């Protein structure tokens, strides 16, 4: 009934726990497809130790690093079941996850996907109280402004529906799941949120998810944001809808992330200046910011440059931009 797809890159430290969480499922009618994206650690050795002799697993190796979207699509291409769940190689499923989700979607077979609440953890389940279950408002607009109502692992997909929109976009280096979910919603996918479900999956909060320098990470995120905004700006213009203003959100999120990275000493002053310059160039070219918006952003940057602490500055600035 369900295919669990796990892309992996250099997660030998965590993937044992991930695989074991799949093996321990109370629901037994599953296959698990693991794609190693040319890891440089001992991931392959760890994976093979856990899946040896278990016909429920399929294991694929990318000869060169292809990225998360390519790997997930490879898993999707080789899946055989009606439903699909994407699981990152450092996250964990509760033992009742698949049973919980299959029971729900089996009673709603006309749906393209369903969404479930997700917990978080640092090292052990229970060491974080943060729960991802804030599903308020218009979900399309929330994705467009990067106020994300759900994450990759929270979704159980109908495989045929995913294939209808060709899965993930291979060219996205960041915002891969955000792009997919936005596209699915704009395509009119039918879905439900299981509000009353217990937490059945856990996202690992890990500072070491960033495998490059923080400046390179932020540069790639700017590229991802710019690609996302440009792609959906075209779609929204063609449709003649009035929610283009929400696309200011991703640019502001990355601007505030650059500032936060500087404040926490993850980047230096020179890095910050270069990153903001790149970002400003990109959002000015997008033409979604008017003169008033640019003045707000300039004022925001001046306040941060002066090191004056203003409570709620980010929230107020974002509301003024998306008004």
| Chain segment 257-269, per-residue pLDDT in tens | 999 999 889 999 9
Q: Is the pLDDT of residue 59 over 80?
A: yes
Distance separating the N- and C-terminal Cα atoms of the chain: 45
What pLDDT score does 209 carry? Answer: 60
Which one has a higher pLDDT value, 202 or 300? Answer: 202
What pLDDT score does 246 carry? Answer: 95
Q: Is the pLDDT of residue 212 over 70?
A: no
CATH class given for the domain over 2-208? alpha beta
Q: Is the pLDDT of residue 162 over 80?
A: yes
What pLDDT score does 64 carry? Answer: 95
What pLDDT score does 311 carry? Answer: 83
What pLDDT score does 109 carry? Answer: 84
What count of Cα atoms within 13 Å lies in the side-chain half-sphere of residue 160? 7
What pLDDT score does 284 carry? Answer: 83
Of 121, 122, 90, 123, the C-alpha closest to 6 is 90
The percentage of the chain sitting over the pLDDT mark of 70, rounded to a whole number, equals 98
Mean pLDDT score across all residues of the chain: 93
What pLDDT score does 207 carry? Answer: 67
Domain ranges of the chain: 2-208, 212-321
- Band the pLDDT of 55: cuts 50, 70, 90: very high
Q: Is the pLDDT of residue 241 over 80?
A: no
């Amino acid at each position: 009934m369900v295919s669990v797809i796990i892309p992996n890159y250099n997660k030998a430290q965590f993937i044992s726990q991930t695989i074991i969480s799949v093996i321990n499922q109370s629901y037994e009618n599953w296959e698990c497809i693991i794609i190693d994206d040319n890891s440089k650690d001992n991931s392959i050795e760890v994976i093979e130790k856990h899946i040896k002799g278990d016909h429920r697993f399929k294991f694929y190796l990318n000869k060169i690093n292809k990225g998360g979207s390519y790997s997930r699509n490879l898993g999707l291409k080789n899946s055989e079941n009606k439903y699909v769940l994407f699981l990152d190689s450092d996250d964990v499923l509760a033992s009742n996850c698949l049973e919980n989700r299959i029971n729900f979607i089996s009673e709603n077979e006309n749906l393209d996907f369903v969404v479930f609440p997700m917990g978080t953890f640092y090292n052990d389940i229970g060491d974080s109280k943060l729960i991802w279950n804030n599903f308020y408002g218009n979900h399309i607009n929330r994705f467009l402004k990067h106020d994300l109502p759900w994450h990759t692992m929270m979704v159980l997909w109908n495989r045929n529906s995913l294939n209808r929109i060709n899965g993930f976009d291979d060219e996205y280096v960041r915002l891969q799941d955000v792009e997919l979910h936005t596209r699915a919603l704009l395509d009119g996918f039918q879905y439900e949120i299981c509000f009353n479900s217990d937490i059945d999956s856990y996202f690992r909060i890990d500072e070491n998810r960033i495998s490059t320098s923080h400046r390179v990470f932020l540069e790639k995120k700017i590229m991802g944001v710019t690609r996302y905004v440009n792609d959906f700006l075209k779609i929204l213009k063609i449709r003649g809808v009035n929610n283009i203003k929400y696309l200011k959100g991703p640019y502001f999120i990355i601007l505030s992330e650059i500032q936060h990275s500087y404040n926490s000493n993850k980047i230096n002053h020179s890095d910050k200046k270069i990153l903001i310059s790149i970002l400003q160039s990109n959002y000015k070219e997008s033409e979604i910011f008017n003169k008033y918006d640019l003045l707000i952003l300039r004022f925001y940057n001046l306040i941060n440059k002066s090191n004056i602490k203003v409570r709620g500055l980010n929230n107020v600035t974002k509301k003024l931009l998306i008004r």
